[in-house]
Structure 1
């Protein structure tokens, strides 16, 4: 079997492990598009700022207008950067989940990981409203990890099976969603309002504090995900073949679930439950660069950043001056796409 042309096709997720030569070009194009989108997003608002002023402010060049610096640095730039980082975390987490389950419909928001993070974060907001924003990612990570461990243990039967993981995950998502609703029902009205806005999924009002709380999680866990790309490629071949190639299947799957939980938990804690990014971005990336996770993870992360930034921009301008949370925008786009995937997967 030739390493440079290893092709595996399953009934649910056809994957080519040939590392496409166009990967660097695709990455470069996506990075440029994402940066342009972020500049436009930072310049648009009730007080418009020229895109050139955004670039000058970021580079530390005086624009001659101090109001531009305040609007860009204090109000918009942290929001835009947070949207990009949240998208990267969700997309990377979704790519990992689709790889270890070998299912194109798997995503943290669908199999219960995001729901666990949401429950922990809502509990912290409602029960301990005076805690700092820096504690939210830790709580969300604990919630996401707890949900992941519960899914893993309940799906265990002399090993784990991808389909069992997904079905158990849907059940865990339903249970944690019920407890989240219970907290919202009986909580203090002010805390409940904050939790409801957060549950809609939004980067509105995000500051440098939230950005700096999120950034370390991405610095640690996205490189870990990239380092585990060969293990993801092996798991995507199937458990028996992966074990035959020398992979410690259960150890690798559990460690990858841990990484996925950390990324999705940090994203949920920062911006709420923004759905479908972890579902859509890996699919688009797979069409662009193939199934080799060494290129797929990076491409998916950049696409995730682009999707959330665009969703936040659309939410601000479509019904201006009323703002739609970006979680609603991604749901409006992602739900039909999810139905489309269900139909196409059934046909295959």
Structure 2
């Protein structure tokens, strides 16, 4: 009996391998690169600003200088929003993949972002003049709606909720909600407002939005870090997690709340930016192992870096016009999704 218990613990410890040294390097180097990329993003635009001016505009602000006003009022909020939204989506995707043991899970594929955008369309059509906080609340509700529809549709399939079936249900729900949102936008003449949410981007972000995002970041990311050890065990399977004494239902409830909170806030500010929550968790697990105590913070840093780079690229592809950030992330994410779907579909 002792040998059986020992073998089970040894097997579990092998599955929970992590690379703390690599994770520490990623966090340290990633934050430095993120700061440098943010400074470069602030300097680039219709009015090019050198990095020295960026430094003085951030730390020695002079309201009489136009360049400093551009930095403080337009570009700094944009970069901060890109970093926060990227971190939110990456952490949400990591939690979803860990809880469901589904490598295809992410906010954009599982209908979460489409649900948020759908409820924002409802708010624009029936409750014009809704505040940013109001839009965020609508977005939270829509995120829950999207998840509920995906799991409800997926549960009717024969053979259970396989990763591919959940992904197919997510694609179907996303298409449905986007179609209904478009119909609402056309009928109620709010298409111009809705277009931004589906293109995705952080252009036009203001400090008032950042003030809303920061409390969400503090609450959501702290909860994610607190639940990370439990998600590590849960990622091994419900049976093993229960055998180790974990209350799986409680973990899933907290994890779902974190996903809805972070994704809802991200969509309310930046629209439907896809695939960050799919790609970044896989890259992070490959680099640091399967311990979510390291995956969550590293995914946040890498997700923030990816979206800041994508936003910078969106301005560099066809200046002075901007390419939708959602198109940039889709170019990266779609091939990755097809690869994962093909690999998972072999057992479908």
TM-score (norm 1): 0.89
Per-residue CA distance 1:137-160 (angstroms, 9 max, x = gap): 111011112333444566669xx9
State how far apart, in whole Å, the 1-side matches of 2:275 and 2:303 are.
10
Q: How many residues align?
A: 336
User: 1:39 — aligned with what?
Assistant: 39
Alpha carbons 1:148, 1:257 under 8 Å: kept: no
1:258 aligns with 2:257: yes
- Measure the CA separation in 1 of the matches of 2:9 and 2:250: 27
Q: More deviation in 260-269 or 334-343?
A: 334-343
Aligned to 1:50: 50
Q: Does the CA contact (< 8 Å) of 2:18 and 2:288 recur in 1?
A: no
- The Cα of 1:342 is off from its aligned counterpart by 2.6
- Structure having the larger proportion of residues in helix: 2
- Using a 3 Å threshold, how does the CA distance of structure 1 residues 216 and 130 change in structure 2: closer, same or farther? same
Aligned CA-pair RMSD:
2.4
- 1:1-12 matches, within 5 Å, as 6-8=13-15
Displaced runs of 4 or more, over 3 A: 1-5, 62-65, 149-157, 160-172, 343-348
1:154-203 C-alpha deviation (Å, 9 max, x unpaired) = 6669xx95646555444433432332122123121xx2111112211011
* Structure-2 change in CA distance of 1:107 and 1:80 (3 Å): same
1:204-255 CA-to-partner distances (Å, cap 9, x unmatched) read: 1111111112221111111101100111111111111111111122232232
Which deviations, in whole Å up to 9, do the C-alpha atoms of 1:73-116 show, x marking residues without a partner?
Answer: 01111111111111011111001111111122110100111111
1: CA distance between counterparts of 2:63 and 2:148? 54
How far the C-alpha of 1:129 sits from its partner, in A, is 2.7
Paired with 1:43 and 1:126, the residues of 2 have a C-alpha distance of 37
| Structure 1 segment 1-348 matched on structure 2, within 5 A | 6-8=13-15, 16-59=16-59, 61=60, 66-152=65-151, 163=163, 166=167, 168-188=169-189, 191-346=190-345
Q: Return closer, same or farther for 1:156/1:248 CA change in 2, 3 Å cut-off.
A: farther
- Segments of 5+ residues of structure 2 without an aligned counterpart are 1-7
CA distance in 2, matches of 1:87, 1:315: 15
CA pair 62-146 structure 1, distance change in 2 beyond 3 A: closer
d(CA) in 2 for partners of 1:337 and 1:309?
Answer: 20
Q: Give the whole-Å Cα distance in 2 for the aligned partners of 1:176 and 1:198.
A: 13
Shift of 1:24: 1.4
